[in-house]
Every structure is written in C-alpha cells, then in structure tokens.
Amino acid sequence: LASQAEKPKVYKGLEGIYVTETRLSYIDGLHSKLYYVGYPIEALAKNSTYEEVAFLLYFLRLPRKDELDLFKALMAEARELPEDVLNVVKKMVSLKAHPMDILRTAVSYLAAYDPEVGVNTPESNLRKSLRILSKAPSIIAAMYRFSRNLDYIPPRKDLSHVENFLYMLHDKRPTEFETKVMDTIFILHAEHGMNASAFASLVTISTLSDIYSAVVSGIATLKGPLHGGAAEAAYYQFKEIGSPDKVEEWVQKALASKRRIMGMGHRVYKSYDPRAKIMRELDGEIAKIYGGEPKLLYEIAIKLEEVALREFAEKGRMDIQPNIDYYTPIAYTALGIPPEYFTTIFTASRIVGWTAKAMEYLKDPRLIRPLDLYVGELDKEYVPIDKRG
C-alpha cells in the first residue's frame, strides 16, 4: 500500500490539463459557446467568409478591406499543385488509398516544392501556412475527380476559396447558396481549442520542426475515427436508419446493445455544440431547397436527435448532445460530396487552426516532453539465446 500511495498520477488522455495559453479560440462547453479571437462563432458564421476567418486567426483581428483583398489574392495565387504531386494523388487513388492517407502524403510531398523550405522565420511560416491552406482543397478535388475517372480541373484565381473548391470538385461554378453553405462549413471547422490533431501538431512544432511537419501530424491524427471520422459515421448511421419512422425502434435497439450514437457527445461540450445549432438551421434551409436525400437525412437527423435526447435525459445524461459532425453530412450531401471525403474537408478547413496555433506557440516555444510510468520488472538477466526456455 505504501508503494501504491507513492505511485505518481497518470493523466491518461490529459483530460482537464492545460498545455498552453492561447488567444485563438475559447470554448465554453457548459454554455454552448465558441469564440474565435473573442468573436462569437454565430456572428462569424453569419457575416464572415473563410478567408476573413483565416486572417482573423493569423493576425488576431479582422482585416480591413484592402488587407482582405490582398490576403485573398495571396491564397488564390497558391492554389496550383505541382504535376508530380498530382501524379502521386492519382496513383494513390488507383491503389484505393484512404483519402486522408492521400492528403497526408500530398501535403508532406509539397514541402519539397515550397520556395522557402528550410527557412523558419515567422513571415515564412505564415506564407507556408497560406500555401498549404490554399492547396489542400486542390488535393481533395484532385482525388475526388480521379476516383470518378474525371479530369483534374485546374484552380481559378477569380473565385473565393470555397467557390473555387466547389468549382474544382464539380467543374461548375457554385450558386451563391452553395458557396454560403461551404463557407459556413469551413468557418465552423477552422479552429477548436486543443483537440487531438491540434495537439499532435503542437507537439511536432515544439521540437522546432517545421510547418509542413506540423500539418502532416495534424492530418495523421485527424484521420482517427474518434476525431475526424465522426461525420462520416453519422452519415452511415442515418443511412442505416433509412427513414424517420424507423428512428424510435433503432434507438431502442441501439441503447439496448450499448451502441454509441454517432455525432453525439463531446469531450469539451457538455451542452449543445453551438456549431451543430448553426448547421442544423442551415440544414433546414437545405432540406427545403434541395428535397431528395438531403431532406430525408435531415428528417432522420431531427427525429433521431429528439428521441435520443429524450432517452438520454431519462438516464440523467444531459451531457450527450449533437456535435457538429452530426449535422454536416446533410450539407455535404447537398453539395455533392460523398462520405469518404467528409474528413478531408474538415482537414482542409482545420489547417488554419493548426498553423495559427503552431505560430502562436513558436512565439514562446517549449519542447513538449511528458513522461510514461514504467510498471514492469527491472534488472532482468540477459540469458544467451541458446539457453532460453
């Protein structure tokens, strides 16, 4: 018992442990609030664009018009991909690689083409971040096109970030509403505290590695189904349920078999995820405008939320509520994006959060080097191989 008392505490999962200070975002998980640089997420989703939010996260203030114009031009300039990178994307698609594996590899490869590779000043880090941010949608559009045996559509410079992305995906300029939907998705995913992918990225930059490496770690981490994969899982869950009138029975079975409801619950939100609320409202509009599958998915989602929250409330679990991943599949479906690409779009948006955090950390960096607690035997005798039993 004495030795047990001396055993150090192990903070598995690091729940509740603060690892750095930030001015980027604040999540009030008890009161359904999220702020980027002090601005409520609702105001940004309503009024802003992804480029403006990116500027906000990089410079900690909203841009003037001339600044935003320059920033957008810089991003638009950087959209093109080297042919060799496109060839690797094509090859990986032909090998049926996971879209996140393709994105991870392509971004890693792009480091070799960066004109400032090896330079690690704050200014070059910002330019590198913008290059990665601008090229990520091109990579995703490329893999989507190749996977459908369609030609790659080169980027256009005269379109906004998300307009160009939708254009590269579908070879068609999107409507104003489609642009608004995609901007909202990109704004809502841009930054979200010290989640696992942001943290992996931070650990990487804490060794004074480089921005590409930090983003690659983020992609590698966001790939995990416990993190970036929830929207895709929520989509398949809605498809499995099939129609709103089957929800009640499905929930009873799910609860009986202790099956998790995908897209509900969050390590930090113990109330309704404010991003989910924004997406739910937008999904309502989408359902009206589009009908068809988006409408069906929306009706299933609304019914499932109602039934699940009622059941959870009865069990005293008021903390399990929809998160953003619950309500994005409906919008993605309306935009013609198949489920295997949901996580890549989350990633394309989140790159701004990872890189903004990396640059913030680099202002006062400290190597992240925790400990693990050894619980095995010590001083074992090395027995020669011919004497081992």
Range 249-288, binding a copy of itself (CB under 8 A): 267-268
CB of 227 to a copy of itself, least distance (A): 4
Length of the chain: 389
Structure tokens at 55: 């500027």
Cα distances (angstroms) measured from residue 197 to each of 214, 266, 347, 355: 10, 15, 10, 11
Q: Of the listed pieces 34-42, 256-264, 324-332, 345-353, which binds a copy of itself according to CB under 8 A? A: 34-42
Q: Is 266 a catalytic residue?
A: yes
- What residues contact residue 73 under an 8 Å CB cut-off, 6+ apart? 157
- Contact between residue 147 and residue 93 where contact means Cβ atoms under 8 Å apart: yes
Q: For a copy of itself, which is the closer residue by CB, 212 or 290?
A: 212
21 touches a copy of itself by CB under 8 A: yes
Q: How far is the CB of 289 from a copy of itself (least distance, A)?
A: 26
Q: Binding a copy of itself by CB under 8 A: which of 50, 58, 71, 109? A: 109
15, with CB counted inside 10 A (0-12, 13-18, 19+), is exposed
Q: Environment class of residue 128 by beta-carbon count within 10 Å: exposed (0-12), middle (13-18) or buried (19+)?
A: buried
Of 79, 104, 145, 277, the residue at the interface with a copy of itself (CB under 8 A) is 104
371 binds a copy of itself (CB under 8 A): yes
Active site residue 189: no
Q: Which of 2, 4, 18, 258 forms a contact with a copy of itself (CB under 8 A)?
A: 18
Give residue for tokens 């869950």. 237
The active-site residue, picked from 266, 273, 319, 379, is 266
Helix (H) or strand (E) run with residue 59 in it = helix 50-59
Residue of 212, 290, 298, 346 interacting with a copy of itself (CB under 8 A): 212
**Candidate segments 126-134, 146-154, 193-201, 237-245, binder of a copy of itself by CB under 8 A:** 193-201
Q: How far is the CB of 101 from a copy of itself (least distance, A)?
A: 5
Dump the DSSP string for 302-313. HHHHHHHHHHHH
Q: And the tokens for 37?
A: 């640089």
Q: Does 124 bind a copy of itself (CB under 8 A)?
A: no
Q: Which stretch binds a copy of itself (CB under 8 A): 177-185, 212-220, 303-311, 345-353?
A: 212-220
Distance separating alpha carbons of residues 111 and 132, to the nearest angstrom = 9
Among residues 30, 73, 150, 208, which is the contact residue for a copy of itself, using CB under 8 A?
208
Binding a copy of itself (rule: CB under 8 A), the pick from 121, 175, 207, 252 is 207
Residue in 222, 169, 249, 224 with CA at minimum distance from that of residue 347:
222
Tokens 């600044």, residue located: 67
Q: Which residue's entry shows tokens 């004495």?
A: 2
115 sits near a copy of itself (criterion: CB under 8 A): no
Q: Judged by CB under 8 A, which of 31, 98, 253, 288 binds a copy of itself?
A: 98
Instruction: Tell whether residue 358 is a contact of a copy of itself (CB under 8 A).
Output: no
- Rounded Cα–Cα distance for residues 230 and 9 (Å): 31
Q: Which residues inside 50-79 make contact with a copy of itself, applying CB under 8 A?
A: 52, 60, 62-65, 68
Which residue in 207, 24, 240, 55 sits closest to 130, CA to CA? Answer: 55
Selected catalytic residue, list 183, 210, 273, 325:
325
Q: Please give the backbone phi and psi of residue 271, each rounded to the nearest 5 degrees, phi first.
A: -140, -170
Name the minimum Å distance from CB 28 to a copy of itself: 9
Q: Are 35 and 41 in contact (CB under 8 A)?
A: yes
What is the per-residue binding string for a copy of itself in 301-340, x denoting contact by CB under 8 A?
----------------------------------------
What is the C-alpha to C-alpha distance for residues 45 and 183, in angstroms, rounded to an integer?
8
Asked if 38 touches a copy of itself (CB under 8 A), the answer is yes
Q: Which of 112/318 has CB closer to a copy of itself? A: 112
By annotation, the residues acting in catalysis are 266, 325
